[in-house]
Structure 1
């Protein structure tokens, strides 16, 4: 599983490099809305812990692609994509799509469907066991 995850990440990272992003950064940008979303919510959705997400956010904030804004209370930090961040997504989207299409073509429709079925089962099982 780890080898597959690494290989997939490498494929996407190579494809996204011309846009100045890696897969984690692209995923964060895609899930960060214009109105802002809480850090913890994004971390849960991505399956990351908050400290990993915070580390991956630093270059996005430095590039002015994401900004932090106050949340509903003083303890909450919300992330919001900037106009520059939206342009980064627009540059990266076709690169991601090309990589996705190549993977889909290589595995075939049946292979992709079977892989998704097994992954969904494994995720559900592991999440149920962790609850």
Structure 2
């Protein structure tokens, strides 16, 4: 699993490099969107812990692609993608799509369906949900 994860990440990182993003950054920007979303919600959706997400946000904030604002209470941070961040996602999206299409083509429709089914079962088991 770890080897597959690394190989997939490398493939996407190479594809996204011309847009100045890696796969983690692209995923964070895509999941965050333009409206304010709590850091914890985004971390959960990405399967990351909050401290890892916070660390990964630093270069995105430094590039001006993401900003944070206070939430409803002082403990909550809301994240949103800036106009520059949306432009970065727009540049990256066709690069990601091309990489995804190449992977899909290599594995075939049946292979992709089987892989997704296995991954869904594994995720459910690891999160303590009924398979």
Q: 1:77-105 CA deviation, whole Å, 9 max, x = no partner?
A: 11011000000000000000000000000
Paired residue for 1:75?
Answer: 75
Matched residue count: 129
How far has the Cα of 1:36 moved from its partner?
0.7
SS of match in other structure, 2:11: helix
Q: 1:82-131 CA deviation, whole Å, 9 max, x = no partner?
A: 000000000000000000000000000000000000000111111117xx
Identify unmatched segments of 5+ residues in structure 1. none
TM-score of the aligned structures, taking structure 2 as reference length: 0.97
Q: 1:44-101 CA deviation, whole Å, 9 max, x = no partner?
A: 0000011110111000000000001110101101101100000000000000000000
SS of match in other structure, 1:43: helix
Identify unmatched segments of 5+ residues in structure 2. none
C-alpha distance in 2 between matches for 1:75 and 1:52: 18
TM-score of the aligned structures, taking structure 1 as reference length: 0.97
Q: CA RMSD in A?
A: 0.7
SS of match in other structure, 2:33: coil
Paired residue for 1:128?
Answer: 128
Paired residue for 2:6?
Answer: 6
Paired residue for 2:63?
Answer: 63
Paired residue for 2:109?
Answer: 109
How far has the Cα of 1:35 moved from its partner?
1.6
